[in-house]
């Protein structure tokens, strides 16, 4: 199994999208990329910890290529936005890929470059690409939040 970690705004909808993919064995929502150890949702919402809301995806690389996860990531949010998605704003909602290996780093950079060459988005891609750091699991009520509420996507 491998891990992949993505931040694309509010983690509820991003998690729901990844959970639908065959080859994804589990997901967890949480926080990554900041200075504060063991942050809470309330801490992260202050926009002062440096953490992004992220989804940690565990997947079987024999059944699912990392590139397919990237395709989903690019399609479920607007990667041209800086520190916001929809009505949500702050650094915790930034677009970011936290890579777990040199291969993931190469693949995400290549994917981003290809999308920019194709001009898939009207504005430049603002997504950060950084080394994975400590993942802090979000509170239980955030895990699979949309499924628990009987929703397929976030109502924005």
pTM score over 0.75: yes
Q: Is residue 156 part of a domain?
A: no
Residue 88 lies in a domain: yes
CATH number, residue 99: 3.30.1060.10
Domain that holds residue 22: 2-148
What does the pLDDT look like over 27-51, one tens digit per residue?
999 999 999 999 999 999 999 999 9
Tell me, yes or no, if 45 is annotated catalytic: no
**99-137, pLDDT tens digit by residue?**
999 999 999 999 999 999 999 999 999 999 999 999 999
The answer to the question of residue 153 being in a domain is no
Confidence at residue 156, expressed as pLDDT on a 0 to 100 scale: 53
Q: What is the mean pLDDT of the chain?
A: 96
Q: Which residues of 6-42 are buried (b: 16+ CB within 10 A; e: fewer)?
A: bbbbbbbbbbbbbeebeebeebbbbbbbbeeeebeee
Q: For the chain, what is the domain count? A: 1
In a domain, 97, yes or no: yes
């Amino acid at each position: 199994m491998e891990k992949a970690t993505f931040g694309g705004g509010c983690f509820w909808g991003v998690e729901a999208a990844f959970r639908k993919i065959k080859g994804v064995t589990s997901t967890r929502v949480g926080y990554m990329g900041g200075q504060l150890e063991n942050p809470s949702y309330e801490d992260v919402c202050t926009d002062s910890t440096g953490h992004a809301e992220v989804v940690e995806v565990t997947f079987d690389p024999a059944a699912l290529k990392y590139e397919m996860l990237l395709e989903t990531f690019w399609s479920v949010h607007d990667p041209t936005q800086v520190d916001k998605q929809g009505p949500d704003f702050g650094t915790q909602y930034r677009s970011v890929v936290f890579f777990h290996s040199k291969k993931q780093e190469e693949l995400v950079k290549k994917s981003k470059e290809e999308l920019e060459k194709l001009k898939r988005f009207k504005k430049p891609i603002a997504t950060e690409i950084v080394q994975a750091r400590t993942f802090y699991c979000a509170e239980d009520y955030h895990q699979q939040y949309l499924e628990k509420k009987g929703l397929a996507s976030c109502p924005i």
